[in-house]
Amino acid sequence: MLYEINKLTRVHRGRIILDIPALTIPVGKISCLIGPNGAGKSTLLHLLAFLDTPSSGTISFCSTPVRYVEKALQPLRRRVVLVDQYPILFTGSVLKNLEFGLKVREIEKNRRRDMIEEALQMVGMEDFLHAEAHKLSGGETKRVALARALVVKPEVLLCDEPTANVDAENQEIIESILERANGKEKISILFATHSLSQAQRLADQTLTLKDGRPSDLSRENVLSARIVGQGAGRVICRLHNDLRITFPAASYSGTTGTVRLFFNPEKIILFRQSPGGVSPENLLSGKVVKIAGGNGQVKVTIDTGVQTNVVLSLSEYAEKPPRIGEEFLLHIPDEAITVE
Amino acid sequence: MNLLIESFKAAMLLMLAGDHDLLVIVGCSLKVSSLATVFAAILGLPLGFLIAFTTFPGKRLALTCLNTLLALPTVVIGLFVYALISRRGILGSLDLLYTQKAMIIGQIILIIPVITTMTIAAISRIDKRYRTTALTLGANRYQMAWVVFIEARYGVIAAVIAAFGRVIAEIGISMMLGGNAKGFTRTMTTAMALEYDKGEFVLAVALGIILMGLAFAINLLFHLFQGRVGSDAV
């Protein structure tokens, strides 16, 4: 394993901003961290880049626990490079920027130029060798920052939202750079993103973070429900607004009290008219209150008494796009429900 | 008014003729102030870096103390150093009183807070990502500090220029610790005060013109560097 994390926490001003009981990241793969803003993605990446110290717990890198003393950290940092969400380039030319990592590694001057040209070619920026770094556009800056990371031939490349705030063309280029770095250069990659589709496209493994804790994709719609009874092998419960939801008794051992329900937004089914052949259990009705698109998906928020998110693929959406205010029936199948 | 115009004309002639006494005084001023600035920079720049880079208990208090020291009157420093190096002082045996060394010591104390606080301000303005970027690219702490210095260089150089401007124009320390000895510890400001006391305006005006010229050149440099800092920030 590349990284093994055990009971890791990071506390900032008395607040736990990261709490990961256990996590492993495999070597040689593309792994993805997904989660909303403030989920702890950047904090975790900084810890994995050995730029920050955990408040408690351990991180092992290549089966060796990390010792947080400067002498031990610097050699590790030379094997792992982090590309920031908003990368900053040093004053001077692109050449000077790419030369920095090689200089600190005391690579001979005559080898440096070849390595720099190769790295710039890899990101399609070979014509920018002598360009002033601060005059590059956002997308070009990200690509040069990737080249600056790749030129030192790291074992691990960590990227914090590599395609955030760049145009579609640069997004595609950056994704292909990451794929090539992993495929051709055999660099293990861990990147953070908001985009589920990007994660699915690129990553061999995905970790979802929410409020600093590992989560999973099925936990988008989190609701608290009160168990009110059982019947026909199902647990019956009520949401705070008295909506009735049932789930198989086998998925929960308790018979009373309050449970947390998670509805996987990708597995909820939308109907415009009452569907035939669908169980009337967990069939809710509501109006569309919000539609948000991006990264090959559309998230439709429907107010059924509680706001419920449903994720549609672009093709599903394009077939007959929902409109704000339109009435829908939502069917929440058993496989969409997780009970805690 | 006539007196001023006549003095101004005579002063210009004195400067054009390259008057020996005038050159010695200007030379002494430049030497003492330059050395004080160099030594203060050697001490103040790393101190500024250290304070800017590290967090420690009482950092805010240390910054407040440094800012307070910016307003330290030169006569207070003069008195303090005098107490140390006079015959009865703990460093009396070194025979430093009324020497250029004593003036340099006093001036170093005067401008270390200037250099340190301005360095801290210059470093603090630099985006923290420069540090993390340098570290993640494999730099050690010194290489990382060098990256930050390069990014903050205009602000740091402006700190040194401002410090030189402060010492070249001070009089209290030079008078109290140097003693205004002709050809030895007489600086532009102490000579001007003496000439004024004697009612001899010509040399005082000539020195005033040179001092103003120097102050102008220093400010010009300072604004050039400040301008670069400003334009970089945009």
Summarize pLDDT for A294-337 with one digit per residue, the tens: 556 788 889 888 888 898 888 888 888 899 999 999 999 888 88
**A267 confidence band (pLDDT: 50, 70, 90):** confident
Q: Which residues contact A324 (CB under 8 A, 6 or more apart)?
A: A288, A289, A290, A291
Interchain proximity B138–A46, CB inside 8 Å: no
Angstroms from B231 CA to nearest CA on chain A: 12
Look-up of token digits 């390069």? B150
Q: What is the mean pLDDT of residues A56-71?
A: 95
What local confidence, expressed as pLDDT, does residue A196 receive?
Answer: 67
Angstroms from A229 CA to nearest CA on chain B: 56
What local confidence, expressed as pLDDT, does residue B227 receive?
Answer: 65
What local confidence, expressed as pLDDT, does residue B206 receive?
Answer: 86
Rounded Cα distance between A238 and A229, Å, is: 10
User: For A14, phi and psi rounded to 5 degrees?
Assistant: 80, 0
What local confidence, expressed as pLDDT, does residue A198 receive?
Answer: 80
Is A146 an 8 Å CB contact of chain B? no
Tokens of residue B127, six digits: 């985006």
Q: Which residues of A touch B134 (CB under 8 A)?
A: 100
Q: Which of A157, A158, A174 is nearest to A166 (CA)?
A: A174
Q: How many domains does chain B have?
A: 1
Q: What is the mean pLDDT of residues A237-253?
A: 83
Q: Which residues of B touch A91 (CB under 8 A)?
A: 150-151, 232
- Reply yes or no on whether the pLDDT at A130 is more than 70: yes
Rounded Cα distance between A161 and B148, Å, is: 25
Q: Which residues of B touch A105 (CB under 8 A)?
A: 138
Residues of chain B with pLDDT under 70: 1, 226-234
Q: What is the mean pLDDT of residues A21-38?
A: 90
Q: CA of A283: how far to CAs of A188, A334, B215, in Å?
A: 44, 11, 82
Q: CA of A300: how far to CAs of A51, A169, A265, in Å?
A: 38, 26, 9
**A211 confidence band (pLDDT: 50, 70, 90):** confident
Q: What is the mean pLDDT of residues A95-101?
A: 97
Burial per residue of A47-58, b for 16 or more beta-carbon CB atoms within 10 angstroms, e otherwise: bbbbbbebeebe
What residue ranges of chain A are covered by domains with CATH 2.40.50.100?
218-339
| ipTM confidence | 0.74
Q: Which residues contact B133 (CB under 8 A, 6 or more apart)?
A: A84, A87, A88, A90, B147
Q: What's the angle, vertex CA B195, arms to CA B192 and CA B197, rounded to 5?
A: 110
Euclidean distance between the first and final Cα of chain A, in Å?
A: 30
What local confidence, expressed as pLDDT, does residue B234 receive?
Answer: 31
Q: Which residues of A touch B154 (CB under 8 A)?
A: none
CB pairs below 8 Å between A and B: how many? Answer: 53
Interchain proximity A84–B132, CB inside 8 Å: yes
Is A86 an 8 Å CB contact of chain B? yes
**A3-215 to CATH, choices 3.40.50.9100, 1.10.3720.10, 3.90.550.10, 3.40.50.300:** 3.40.50.300
pTM exceeds 0.80, yes or no: no
Angstroms from A204 CA to nearest CA on chain B: 25
Is A80 an 8 Å CB contact of chain B? yes
Rounded Cα distance between A95 and B23, Å, is: 48
Q: Which of B42, B179, B157 is nearest to B108 (CA)?
A: B42
Identify residues of B whose CB sits under 8 angstroms from chain A CBs.
Answer: 127, 129-130, 132-141, 143, 147, 150-151, 232
Is A101 an 8 Å CB contact of chain B? yes
Q: Which residues of A touch B151 (CB under 8 A)?
A: 90-91
Angle (deg, nearest 10), helices B59-69 and B100-125: 130
Q: What CATH number should be reported for the domain holding residue B26?
A: 1.10.3720.10
What residue ranges of chain A are covered by domains with CATH 3.40.50.300?
3-215
Bridge partners (DSSP) of residue A229 are: A236
How many percent of chain A have pLDDT more than 70?
Answer: 96
Q: What is the mean pLDDT of residues A270-283?
A: 82
Q: Which residues of B touch A100 (CB under 8 A)?
A: 134, 137, 139, 147
Q: Which residues of B touch A70 (CB under 8 A)?
A: 140-141
Range of the domain at B215: 2-233
Give the residue from chain B lying closest to A89, CA to CA.
B130
Rounded Cα distance between B82 and A138, Å, is: 59
What local confidence, expressed as pLDDT, does residue B228 receive?
Answer: 61
What is the residue type of A247?
F
Q: Which residues of A touch B138 (CB under 8 A)?
A: 74, 77-78, 101, 104-105, 152
What local confidence, expressed as pLDDT, does residue A216 receive?
Answer: 59
Tokens of residue B1, six digits: 């008014």
Question: A30-34 and A205-210: which strand pairing?
Answer: parallel
Angstroms from A91 CA to nearest CA on chain B: 7
CB A142 within 8 A of CB A124: no
Interchain proximity A78–B138, CB inside 8 Å: yes
Interchain proximity B151–A90, CB inside 8 Å: yes
Q: Which residues contact B15 (CB under 8 A, 6 or more apart)?
A: B22, B206, B209, B210
Topology (CATH) of A218-339 = OB fold (Dihydrolipoamide Acetyltransferase, E2P) (2.40.50)
Interface probe, candidates A90, A96, A112, A116, chain B, greatest B C-beta count within 10 A: A90
Give the residue from chain A lying closest to B233, CA to CA.
A134
HEC sequence for A92-156: CEHHHHHHHHHHHCCCCHHHHHHHHHHHHHHCCCHHHCCCEHHHCCHHHHHHHHHHHHHCCCCCE
Q: Which residues of B touch A80 (CB under 8 A)?
A: 136
Coil, strand or helix: which one is B69?
helix
Rounded Cα distance between B53 and B45, Å, is: 12
- Reply yes or no on whether the pLDDT at A255 is more than 70: no
What local confidence, expressed as pLDDT, does residue B232 receive?
Answer: 45
- Reply yes or no on whether the pLDDT at A240 is more than 80: no
Interchain proximity B127–A88, CB inside 8 Å: yes
A152 closest CB neighbour out of B130, B137, B147: B137
Q: What's the angle, vertex CA A166, arms to CA A164 and CA A169, rounded to 5?
A: 125
Phi-psi region at A163: left, alpha or beta (left = phi > 0; alpha = psi -120 to 50): alpha
Q: What is the mean pLDDT of residues A137-162?
A: 96
What local confidence, expressed as pLDDT, does residue A219 receive?
Answer: 55
Interchain proximity B232–A91, CB inside 8 Å: yes
Interchain proximity A87–B133, CB inside 8 Å: yes
- Reply yes or no on whether the pLDDT at A218 is more than 90: no
